[in-house]
Structure formats: C-alpha cells, structure tokens
Amino acid sequence: MKKIVVLTGAGMSAESGIRTFRDSNGLWEEFDVMEVASIEGWYKNPGLMLRFYNERRKQILACEPNMGHLLLARLETNFEVHIITQNIDNLHERAGSTNVLHLHGELIKARSSVDPLLIYTIGNKEIQLGEKCEKGSQLRPFIVWFGEEVPAMEAAIQTVESADILCIIGTSLNVYPAAGLLHYAPYGSPVWLIDPNPPSGLSKSIHVIAKGAGEGVEEFIERVRTEKMRRNDGDGETDICMEFGKINP
C-alpha cells in the first residue's frame, strides 16, 4: 500500500468545536500563552496549569470527531495512513485512525514531573495538586510545553521521509519544530495543504485546498482518487494512486 502521511494542527478539530489558538476567538485571546503552555508557567503556578488542562480535558471529551477525522480514518482501507498530530485531543483515535503520533502530548494522559517516561492514562479524570507519581513527584499533564523537547520528533521525521503523499491540515505552521516537518517530505512526493486561511509564503509546489477540514479532506480524497497522481523519485515517475471507490465517512 502507498503511504499517506497527514500532519494535523488545531484547525483539524475546529469543526468539532475545539478552538484553535491563533484564530480570532482563539484560546490565546483569553489566556497568556506563557502562563498556561510553557514549562516556566508550570514552575510558577502549577495549580493554574492543572485547572487549565482539567478544563480542556473536559471540553475535548464532550466533542465528537468531525467529517475530516472520519474520512481520514476510512482512508486506511486504501492506504497506509500515518497521522502526525500537534493536537492534544483524541479525536483522530475516536474516529478510528489506528496510527496516530502525538507530537505535543495527550490530554487523556498524565506524567510524572521528574520522569518523562512515567506516563499514566487518566481518561476523563482531573489531576489535582498533591497527586503524585510512583516516584513521589507531582503529576502533571502529559503535554509538551514551550521550552521543552519534543521527544516524538525523530519518529515523526522518519515517517515524513517515507511519505508517498504528505497532507497538512489546519496548522498555521508557526510552532517549531513541528512546522519544520514539511521540509522532510521526499523530493517528488506531492504535498497538499488544507486550510481555509492557508499560511503565507508556501512553496508554489504545494497543492492548496482553501477549505475547512471536513470539506477539504473530502476534496483531497476525491482528487487522490480521480487524478492520476504520480511521484517522481528521481529515477522516474511511479503511480501513487490505485483505483478505489468513493469513501464515505
């Protein structure tokens, strides 16, 4: 099977009712990013951080996957689909995607504040001040904050490097190192981008679908299905897309 790698950001979940960070009405308008999304914020006021993420966890669990998430999950019938997401929600998994790499962590998990490898699935439970890991340190959200390493980056790079098609959905490509993944797409592999307000300064070789995630993924799949897409790997061109029937969410 050919490999489609999908890089998603906050816009992927916007139609599920989860606010992005940078759009108007985005979360940053209400909260100071350094207070709630940086390691300094955690050292300064862990109680505020815990309340912020306890609230986010409740919100995401009340939301449902949208048509974009569902279509990407169905695409696994015809392709090896790898989702690399900057999102901390679990909507890709709940839509049925089986291969999801979270770059920035997951809200349904907690981790030790001294040992990053001690990770606990907590589902919808809150994390309280005073709750400790088995090594006796405060539990914290399993989130990669500004000022911290992105441990999944190496695996993400390897995945992108072997993509037959890369599709980027709903990210302003402002947050590094995630935004740099785009540059690891193999030479000759088509790159698509779905976003109603695409970031400026994109390479002309990127195919842009200026639509929201639901409609955009539908159009992307339709074009993959009907346009004879080819990958030029330097030694010549190969077909990427086999014939397959229409995919419904």
104 is catalytic: yes
Q: Does 102 bind ligand NAD (CB under 6 A)?
A: no
Among 98, 124, 158, 174, indicate the residue that binds ligand NAD (CB under 6 A).
Answer: 174
Strand partners, 119: 111
What value does the CA radius of gyration of the chain take, rounded to a whole number of Å? Answer: 19
Q: Which one of the spans 87-95, 155-163, 181-189, 233-241 is the region binding ligand NAD (CB under 6 A)?
A: 87-95
**Nearest to ligand NAD of 126, 148 (CB atom):** 148
Residue 123 structure tokens: 């589902």
Q: What is the 3-state secondary structure (H, E, C) of 145-165?
A: CECCCCCCHHHHHHHHHCCCE
**Nearest to ligand NAD of 133, 209 (CB atom):** 209
- Residue where the block lists tokens 């770059």: 103
Cα–Cα distance list, 114 to 44, 137, 146 (Å): 16, 6, 17
Transcribe 66-132 into DSSP letters: -HHHHHHHHGGGTSEEEEEE---S-HHHHHT-S-EEESSEEEEEEEESS-TT-EEE-TT----TT-B
Q: Does 7 bind ligand NAD (CB under 6 A)?
A: no
Terminal Cα distance for the chain, rounded: 21
**Nearest to ligand NAD of 141, 170 (CB atom):** 170
**Nearest to ligand NAD of 30, 243 (CB atom):** 30
Exactly one of 69, 92, 104, 183 is catalytic; which is it? 104
DSSP 38: B
Among 41, 65, 105, 170, indicate the residue that binds ligand NAD (CB under 6 A).
Answer: 170
Q: What is the nearest approach in angstroms of ligand NAD to the Cβ of residue 195?
A: 5
Q: Does 71 bind ligand NAD (CB under 6 A)?
A: no
Binding to ligand NAD (CB under 6 A) within 13-52 occurs at 13-15, 18, 20-23, 26-27
Q: Which one of the spans 5-13, 112-120, 123-131, 231-239 is the region binding ligand NAD (CB under 6 A)?
A: 5-13
- Residue where the block lists tokens 């929600």: 89
Measured distance CA(85)–CA(105) in Å, rounded? 9
**Nearest to ligand NAD of 87, 189 (CB atom):** 87
Q: Does 75 bind ligand NAD (CB under 6 A)?
A: no
Q: Give the β-pairing of 119-121 and 207-209.
A: unpaired
Helix 67-74 and helix 213-226, axial crossing angle in degrees, nearest 10: 30
Among 93, 106, 164, 195, indicate the residue that binds ligand NAD (CB under 6 A).
Answer: 195
Q: Does 197 bind ligand NAD (CB under 6 A)?
A: yes
Give the footprint of ligand NAD on this chain (CB under 6 A). 9-11, 13-15, 18, 20-23, 26-27, 86-89, 104, 169-172, 174-175, 195-197, 212-213
List active site positions.
Answer: 104
